[in-house]
Chain A
Amino acid sequence: MRLSDLRDKKIRSLDGKPLGRVHEVHCDKGKVTALTCGPGSLIERWTAKRNGHRIPWECVVKVGRKAVLVTLDPPQRKPSASRSRQGTRRPSGPRSKR
């Protein structure tokens, strides 16, 4: 897989709800940890300011040719010791329905 296979891809939840496009891929210790999706406007890119939903990689179910499918029910995972990067929001990925 390449970064270009993820970037600008549409993101949909499993029930078909569109969540935007992938405009950032977060990495830590050499592994992809999350995707950021949202409108990803040109102005945001030009000003290097990014807002949007942060989706943990564990929530990605499938990387298709035209879209990335994600679950809104994240699997159980150990709490991460890594801090959020300066300038990004704290992880606010899809919450569980409880």
Chain B
Amino acid sequence: MTPDSPIKLVSELLDLPLFDMEDKYCGIVDDVELEGGAGKPLKLKALLVGPGAYKGRLPGWAMRLVKLVAGDRVVRVPMDKVRSIKSAVHLNCPGRDLGLDKSEKAAGKWVPRWGAL
């Protein structure tokens, strides 16, 4: 399936994992950005990745808890970067080009780079 194919956004796109062109796991589709509104065409604009995208999906108190554990970053993945959608979303570019690795990089400063076999 490509982004232009017939697709059900809730059951066939939302909460799917994301893999970049290097087959690296990049996150989960946490929400979908749409452009347009009532009375005009509503287009698929971008995928939203990161716990900050839960805002419309969780009550306020749950968002505060999630922010404690996982932060509140959101990364925007434009639809033209999506190559295919099946049991996962596959991108046509490296995840780092879209900033999908920023949180891991920030956490990486706390982890020593030695000792493992």
B-contacting residues of A (Cβ < 8 Å)? 1-7, 23-32, 45, 48, 50, 57, 60-63, 69, 82-83, 85, 88
Query: How many residues of chain B are within 8 Å of chain A by beta carbon?
Result: 29
Q: Could you say which of A48, A69, A82 contacts B11, with CB atoms under 8 Å apart?
A: A48
A-contacting residues of B (Cβ < 8 Å)? 3-11, 14, 31-39, 41-44, 48, 53, 55-57, 79
In the bound assembly, the distance between CA atoms of A48 and B79 in angstroms comes to 25
A83 CB → nearest B CB, Å: 8
B60 CB → nearest A CB, Å: 14
Q: List 7 A-B contacts (CB under 8 A).
A: A1-B34, A1-B42, A2-B53, A3-B10, A3-B31, A3-B34, A32-B9
Main secondary structure of the interface of B (DSSP, over half): mixed
**Contact at A2–B11, with CB atoms within 8 Å?**
no
For B3, list chain A residues within 8 Å (CB).
Answer: 30
In the bound assembly, the distance between CA atoms of A27 and B37 in angstroms comes to 14
